[in-house]
């Protein structure tokens, strides 16, 4: 046992961090509620640059256009993308559809689908959930009826994230209505442009837009089937484990937390830094412990080379969702008081060389920015209001001198 | 001991619920939000016509009486998500006028306030480093027969709709707080709206050499702290009432949903994990409601109630948080879409939790009152 990154992994992490920091201007970063088309296409362009450096699929085997490294390197990339608030693109292809094709796909499917994913040139979405099949996914009703050398798809999928830019939908449908429910499901990759596919936009509260995706006599060639017919449930469970182990969401939330900790250092209440308040200290410390455990659990979950259905990683995923709610959504929800007309979140200055914090005990404490020596500085651009702290039990009072920056 | 509302109060609840269900469904709340309009002028007028703005103010000024009526309405308003300046205008400023105003100030300002013809807002918080209840840094310096006000007030609710601000300032006495009536169209007043959640209008209000006459001071220079504290206590308890009403509504919604949503061949309400969330929320709503009623009845009877109010707000905050978690947790995926109503409730929960002192402040106050 040795729970820390290797020296090479640490170097890789710093290299990726420096690259993303340099490549991502503040106005292209996405934080909660600030999704935009421009940011999406910025993310697409950046993905191609990452592919050019051999990083986009650093953890994929070389034969599929990957870097031949491990899950850890792939996680480092995910983590840095999240931490730098780059709009996520291509996630479904890179983390679920790609691995599933590698594992269960035919040679023809591998050579057709994998290289464009590795080059950052395609977008996939995921069609699993249905109106009546959420937690109980195996009760899904969408039909895929074999008809000659194609399948005919009928039904609808709910919450199709990333649908608007997707070239393909990676989906589950019922191929044997008579079999026990887990044993009559198959996995397909279908073109979103196929006749009969239509969508009803379903905007999320975070500014992104998903859809309900309808299939009305959609014909998919037999070659759209991935893996064995009626084994789709088992194939899919394998890839859900990849989804759950991803570090990107974790890092996005971790970034919000780190920024919030900086805010607590730099802001005052009744003349004292918030970070001296025992209630604030306790809450921040407990969250920090939570992140430590969560980050390690995510890494441990993915290091396991062959994720198994029914492993504990579902729990890890819920943990990550809970943290998203606690740190990103909740505090920002509390009276985000940025004056109208200031579209940009606080983004810290580029870290000076050598200022990256060492990760402790292998816990992914993402490479940081904005600390000069040991004295944390509070860089808040003029016009930025008071980040919310009320979630942590305090009324807000920005530091002295901020009164002017709050003005028009 | 009597936990019951009067028959008249029960009727008031029934009619308020009917009125709001027909006139303020969530579709109306959404429409206002989509237009970026903070509240409906038409609904505001009708609410005023029904006497809702004066329920806790004395009859001699056009009001009708009792804080318990106000609690009944607060619960219904919270339940319906009615957007309006009622809390800052009728409750906080109305109470301040009553407590600190001289007879001519009351006679001039309370009737139009109660009729909804004028909107007032309290300008208290500051973007400075200190609690404004201790030492406002906005100043009112002597100038001829009156004062010149200078400073910046933050998070001023409904500022863009207000005709008059009650501005908490520091005058000659550095320890005291002076309450000054400032008309929003006075030269030197600048209102800058601030982005907020839940379509809640707040603004930064700058006072730049704003001249006010001696007669605009409420209750005497330097004498504003006591009425301010009391008016905020009233506002806090009304806000608790709104939170309880909203929590109750969320509870009813998730219980209904748990009975109808089927997964794994059963209504999800058959699963213990869902049952416990509903039961915990029910307990929290009831506890917050009873603590709120107790504090309100003490306030009405002029009994010491600071601790009761702090306990009510701390309990309401915990309950509110729980209702957000249970609401999004039980509705799951669909509640994260804009088209689902849950987000309307949870965004208002968050605002209310931060308003009038977040939980930790009240918990601190309770610990202090326990002699700790
Ligand atoms: C932001 C977001 C993005 C998403 N993106 C996609 C996507 O791209 N593609 C896709 O296919 N899906 C997507 N989903 C859907 C997601 O997978 C489902 O929301 C999830 O599977 C839960 O299903 P449900 O929402 O129907 O909730 P339900 O299954 O109806 O659950 C309702 C409640 O019942 C509880 N419950 C259910 N069963 C049990 C049980 N046996 N015991 C105890 N409690 C139970 C649940 O925990 C929950 O509290 C997305 C969802 C979100 C929120």
pLDDT at A45: 96
Q: How far is CA A350 from the centre of its chain?
A: 23
Expressed in angstroms and rounded, the spacing between residue B330 Cα and the centre of ligand 1 is 9
Strands B189-194 and B202-212, by their bridges, are antiparallel
Which residues, including other chains, have CB under 8 Å from residue B136's CB and lie 6 or more apart? B124, B126, B151, B168, B169, B170, B177
Chain B contact present for A328, CB below 8 A: no
Tell me the CA end-to-end span of chain B in Å, nearest whole number: 30
Closest CA to A393 of A291, A285, A277, A259: A277
Residue of A243, A248, A300, A404 marked active site: A243
Residue A88 tokens, joined = 């996520």
Closest CA to B181 of B159, B160, B166, B162: B166
Which residues, including other chains, have CB under 8 Å from residue A38's CB and lie 6 or more apart? A28
Cα A294 to Cα A79: distance, rounded to the nearest angstrom: 13
> Which residue matches tokens 């009703």?
A141
β-bridge mates for residue A298, sequence order: none
Cα A86 to Cα A81: distance, rounded to the nearest angstrom: 5
**With bands split at pLDDT 50, 70 and 90, how would you rate the model's confidence at B185?**
very high
A residues 186-205 closer than 8 Å to B (CB):
202-205
CB-CB neighbors (< 8 A) of A269 in chain B: 129, 131
CATH homologous superfamily for A125-235?
A: Butyryl-CoA Dehydrogenase, subunit A, domain 2 (2.40.110.10)
**Under-70 pLDDT residues of chain A:** 241-245, 303-408
pLDDT at A372: 34
Write out the H or E segment, with its range, that includes residue B205.
strand B202-212
Closest CA to A407 of A379, A378, A382: A382
Closest CA to B160 of B127, B198, B190: B190
Are the C-beta atoms of residues B86 and B52 closer than 8 Å to each other? yes
Chain B contact present for A386, CB below 8 A: yes
How many CB atoms lie under 10 A from the CB of residue A334? Answer: 22
Rounded mean pLDDT of B151-179? 94
pLDDT at B330: 97
Which residue of chain B comes nearest to A340, CA vs CA? B195
- Any atom of ligand 1 within 6 Å of the Cβ of B329: yes
β-bridge mates for residue A151, sequence order: A146, A220
Residue B232 pLDDT greater than 80, yes or no: yes
Are the C-beta atoms of residues B221 and B171 closer than 8 Å to each other? yes
pLDDT at B362: 82
A residues 137-166 closer than 8 Å to B (CB):
139, 158-159
Instruction: Name the residue ranges covered by the structural domains of chain A.
Output: 1-89+245-408, 125-235
- At residue A17's C-alpha, the angle toward residues A13 and A18, to 5°, is 120
**With bands split at pLDDT 50, 70 and 90, how would you rate the model's confidence at B264?**
very high
- Any atom of ligand 1 within 6 Å of the Cβ of A127: yes
Q: Return the number of CB contacts < 8 Å for A and B.
A: 134
Per DSSP, the residues of A189-234 read EEETTSTTEEEEEEEBTTS-EEEEEEEEEEEEEGGGEESSTTBHHH
For this complex, say whether ipTM is above 0.85: yes
The residue among A240 and B162 whose pLDDT is bigger is B162
Cα B105 to Cα B114: distance, rounded to the nearest angstrom: 14
Judge: A398–B129 Cβ closer than 8 Å, yes or no.
Answer: yes
Judge: A337–B131 Cβ closer than 8 Å, yes or no.
Answer: no
pLDDT at A304: 61
Residue B199 tokens, joined = 């379509």
Residue A15 annotated to the active site: no
Cα B106 to Cα B366: distance, rounded to the nearest angstrom: 34
DSSP A181: G
Cα B262 to Cα A305: distance, rounded to the nearest angstrom: 36
Cα B206 to Cα B192: distance, rounded to the nearest angstrom: 8
Quick: pLDDT tens for A33-77.
Answer: 778 899 999 999 999 999 999 999 999 999 898 999 988 899 999
The residue among B134 and B343 whose pLDDT is bigger is B343
Judge: B194–A268 Cβ closer than 8 Å, yes or no.
Answer: no
DSSP A145: E
CB-CB neighbors (< 8 A) of A139 in chain B: 263-265
pLDDT at A179: 97
Residue B164 tokens, joined = 């008059």
Judge: A210–B337 Cβ closer than 8 Å, yes or no.
Answer: yes
Which of the listed ranges A91-105, A238-252, B129-143, B326-340 does the model predict with the highest average pLDDT?
B326-340
pLDDT at A150: 97
Residue nearest to atom 13 of ligand 1 (CA): A159
By three-state DSSP, how is residue B265 classified? coil
Quick: pLDDT tens for B291-320.
Answer: 999 999 999 998 989 999 999 999 999 999
Cα A173 to Cα A179: distance, rounded to the nearest angstrom: 13
How many CB atoms lie under 10 A from the CB of residue B332? Answer: 16
Quick: pLDDT tens for B50-85.
Answer: 999 999 898 888 888 789 999 999 999 999 999 999
Mean per-residue pLDDT over chain B, rounded: 94
Q: How many residues in total does chain A contain?
A: 408
Count Cβ atoms within 10 A of the Cβ of residue A280 and give its class: 0-12 exposed, 13-18 middle, 19 or more buried.
buried
Which residues, including other chains, have CB under 8 Å from residue A261's CB and lie 6 or more apart? A275, A284
Residue nearest to atom 30 of ligand 1 (CA): A134
Residue nearest to atom 50 of ligand 1 (CA): A159
β-bridge mates for residue B179, sequence order: B168, B218
Q: Kindly give the number of the ligand 1 atom that is closest to the alpha carbon of B264.
A: 41
Are the C-beta atoms of residues A397 and B153 closer than 8 Å to each other? no
Cα A231 to Cα A186: distance, rounded to the nearest angstrom: 6
Among the residues of chain B, which ranges form H helices?
Answer: 7-23, 26-35, 41-49, 67-80, 86, 94-100, 103-114, 225-260, 272-300, 306-331, 342-354, 359-369
Q: Considering CB atoms only, which of B125, B263, B336 is closest to A136? A: B263
Per DSSP, the residues of A296-329 read HHHHHHHHSSS--TT-THHHHHHHHHHHIIIIII
> Which residue matches tokens 């306990």?
B311
- Give me the CATH topology for the region A1-89+245-408: Butyryl-Coa Dehydrogenase, subunit A; domain 1 (1.10.540)
Cα A384 to Cα A85: distance, rounded to the nearest angstrom: 18
Closest CA to A91 of A283, A248, A271, A237: A248
Would you report the helix, strand and coil content of chain A in percent, each value rounded to 5?
Answer: 45, 15, 40
pTM across the whole model: 0.87
Least confident interval from A150-159, A362-371, B258-267, B341-350: A362-371
Cα A272 to Cα A24: distance, rounded to the nearest angstrom: 35
Are the C-beta atoms of residues A211 and A199 closer than 8 Å to each other? yes
């Amino acid at each position: 046992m040795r729970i820390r990154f290797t020296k090479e992994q640490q170097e890789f992490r710093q290299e990726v961090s420096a690259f993303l920091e340099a490549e991502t201007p503040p106005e292209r970063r996405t934080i909660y509620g600030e999704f935009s088309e421009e940011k999406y296409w910025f993310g697409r362009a950046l993905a191609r640059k990452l592919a050019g450096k051999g990083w986009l699929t650093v953890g994929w085997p070389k034969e599929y256009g990957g870097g031949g490294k491990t899950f850890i390197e792939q996680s480092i990339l995910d983590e840095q993308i999240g931490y730098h608030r780059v709009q996520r693109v291509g996630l479904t292809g890179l983390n679920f559809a790609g691995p599933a094709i590698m594992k269960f796909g035919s040679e023809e499917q591998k050579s057709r689908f994998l290289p464009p994913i590795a080059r950052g040139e395609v977008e996939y979405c995921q069609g699993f959930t249905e109106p009546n099949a959420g937690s109980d996914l195996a009760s899904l009703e969408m039909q895929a009826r074999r008809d000659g050398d194609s399948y005919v798809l009928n039904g609808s999928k709910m919450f199709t994230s990333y649908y608007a830019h997707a070239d393909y939908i990676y989906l589950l449908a019922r191929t044997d209505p008579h079999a026990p429910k887990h044993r009559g499901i198959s996995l397909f990759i279908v073109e979103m442009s196929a006749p009969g596919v239509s969508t009803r936009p379903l905007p999320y509260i975070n500014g992104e837009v998903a859809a309900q995706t309808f299939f009305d006599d959609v014909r998919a060639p037999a070659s759209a089937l991935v893996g064995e017919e009626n084994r789709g449930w088992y194939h899919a469970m394998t890839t859900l484990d990849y989804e759950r182990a991803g570090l990107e969401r974790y890092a996005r939330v971790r970034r919000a937390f780190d920024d919030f900790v900086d805010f607590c250092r730099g802001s005052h209440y009744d003349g004292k830094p918030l970070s001296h308040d025992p209630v604030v200290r306790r809450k921040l410390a407990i969250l920090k412990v939570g992140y430590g455990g969560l980050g390690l659990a995510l890494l441990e979950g993915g290091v396991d080379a062959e994720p198994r259905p029914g492993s504990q990683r579902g729990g890890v995923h819920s943990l990550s969702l809970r943290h998203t709610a606690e740190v990103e959504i909740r505090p920002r929800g509390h009276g985000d008081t940025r004056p109208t007309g200031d579209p940009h979140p606080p983004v810290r200055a580029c870290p000076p060389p050598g200022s990256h914090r060492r990760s402790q005990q292998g816990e992914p404490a993402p490479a940081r920015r904005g600390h000069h020596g040991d004295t944390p500085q509070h860089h808040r651009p003029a016009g930025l209001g008071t980040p919310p702290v009320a979630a942590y039990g305090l009324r807000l009072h920005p530091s002295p001198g901020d009164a002017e920056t709050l003005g028009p | 001991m009597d936990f019951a509302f009067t028959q008249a109060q029960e009727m008031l609840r029934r009619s308020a619920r009917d009125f709001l269900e027909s006139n303020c469904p969530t579709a109306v709340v959404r429409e206002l939000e989509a237009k970026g309009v903070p509240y409906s002028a038409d609904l505001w007028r009708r609410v005023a016509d029904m006497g809702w703005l004066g329920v806790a103010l004395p009859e001699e000024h056009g009001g009708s009486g009792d804080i318990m009526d106000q609690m009944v309405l607060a619960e219904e308003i919270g339940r319906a998500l009615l957007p309006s300046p009622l809390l800052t205008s009728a409750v906080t400023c109305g109470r301040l006028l009553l407590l600190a105003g001289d007879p001519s100030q009351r006679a001039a300002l309370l009737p139009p306030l109660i009729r909804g013809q004028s909107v007032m807002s309290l300008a208290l918080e500051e973007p400075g480093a200190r609690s404004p209840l201790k030492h406002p840094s906005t100043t009112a310096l002597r100038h001829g027969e009156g004062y010149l006000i200078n400073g910046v007030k933050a998070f001023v609710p409904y500022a863009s709709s207000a005709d008059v601000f009650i501005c908490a300032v520091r005058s000659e006495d550095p320890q005291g707080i002076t309450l000054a009536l400032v008309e929003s169209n006075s030269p030197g007043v600048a209102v800058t709206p601030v982005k907020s959640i839940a379509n809640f209008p707040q603004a930064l209000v700058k006072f730049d050499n704003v001249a006010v006459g001696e007669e605009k001071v409420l209750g005497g220079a330097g004498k504003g702290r006591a009425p301010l504290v009391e008016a905020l206590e009233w506002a806090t308890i009304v806000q608790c009432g709104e939170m309880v009403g909203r929590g109750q509504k969320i509870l009813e919604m998730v219980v209904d949903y748990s009975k109808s949503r089927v997964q794994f061949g059963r209504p999800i309400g058959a699963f213990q994990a869902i049952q416990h969330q509903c039961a915990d929320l029910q307990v929290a709503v009831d506890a917050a409601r009873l603590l709120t009623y107790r504090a309100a009845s003490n306030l009405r009877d002029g009994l010491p109630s600071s601790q009761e109010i702090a306990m009510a707000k701390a309990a309401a905050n915990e309950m509110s948080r729980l209702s957000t978690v249970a609401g999004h947790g039980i509705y799951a995926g669909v509640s994260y879409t804009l088209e689902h109503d849950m987000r309307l409730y949870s965004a208002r929960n968050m605002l209310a939790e931060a308003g009038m002192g977040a939980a930790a402040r009240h918990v601190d106050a309770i610990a202090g009152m326990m002699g700790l």
